[in-house]
Amino acid sequence: MEIREYNIKDVVSFQKTKDDFGGLSNMAGGYSVNINDVIIPTVEHLYQACKFPLFPDIQEEIITENSPITAKMISRKYNKFVRQDWDDIRIKVMRWVLSIKLSQNWERFSALLLSTEDRPIVELSYRDKIWGAVENGDKLIGVNALGRLLMELRDKYAKHGYESRCIDPPAVVGLMLYRHEIGVICDDVHKEEFLISKEELEHCD
């Protein structure tokens, strides 16, 4: 992905989760996700856990930590155990975690994406020119990979009201959580169970 320049006044930017558009941040609370019936507090936790498919104990340490910032710090602590192909697959993984975030938090997250209208979405950073962009006069300069993936989600799904209830895994070998392969993730399953269980209550304790 190439570097881009954005005019500050044209963009929707976010930096902290408390900002108006803070919900766009991977660290934002209120957008938990569910992978293989494991509830994960933020997509930052999920993204970090994906770095360690062969180390379920590290994944658990990350996922059971409440704070996404601390979860990221835990992940850094284990840098030498990060899968070797991570740099080649991380964009694919990020696209996937964002799709999960949208699918499982459709009402709120699609509304937030739509509220950015057609403006460029940029993650404002002090130094990360890959995932975000840094300020330079009245410009923001960087690859802005996260912002671009969010715009892709907005334009492909949110704008068309295309609520995808099942998300395919990325084309990545060995995407695992706690030693279990991550396959197609369908959130509808839980809703179905809920409806059936209402009928079955007469029979069950």
Partner 1 sequence: MEHLAKAIVAIIGDYHNHVGFQFTETHVMDWISQFDIEDQQFILEEFLHLLEQGIYISRAKAKQLLSARIEELIVTLRYPDAVSLLSETVFLDLQKPGKSQQDLLALLNEIIVDKYGIDLNKCGTKAQKVFIYLDDVLATGNTIAVHLSSWLRSVNEEGEFYYELVNEKRITLIVSVFCYHNWGWANTQWKFKQQLDNDQIMNNVLLFHDYEIQNHIRRNNPRLNLAYPIEPQSEAVNAYLQNLQATTNLEVAYRKVNLPSRETFFSSPANRTRFENILLHKGVDIINRVRNINAKGLRPLGYTAGTHKTHGLGTLFFLWRNIPNNCPLVFWWDNPVYNWRGLFPVRNRGI
Looking at the Cβ atoms of 14 and 52, the one nearer to partner 1 is 52
CB 59 within 8 A of CB 177: yes
Looking at the Cβ atoms of 7 and 36, the one nearer to partner 1 is 36
**Which two tokens mark 134?**
């840094």
CB of residue 192 to partner 1, shortest distance in Å: 6
Binding-site ranges for partner 1 (CB under 8 A): 29-32, 34, 36-39, 56-57, 59-60, 105, 107-108, 177-180, 187, 189-194, 196-198, 200-205
**Which two tokens mark 144?**
């802005």
Looking at the Cβ atoms of 137 and 161, the one nearer to partner 1 is 161
CB of residue 164 to partner 1, shortest distance in Å: 16
CB within 8 Å of 183: residues ≥ 6 apart: 169
CB of residue 95 to partner 1, shortest distance in Å: 22
Rg (CA), the chain: 18
CB within 8 Å of 89: residues ≥ 6 apart: 83, 170, 172
CB of residue 46 to partner 1, shortest distance in Å: 14
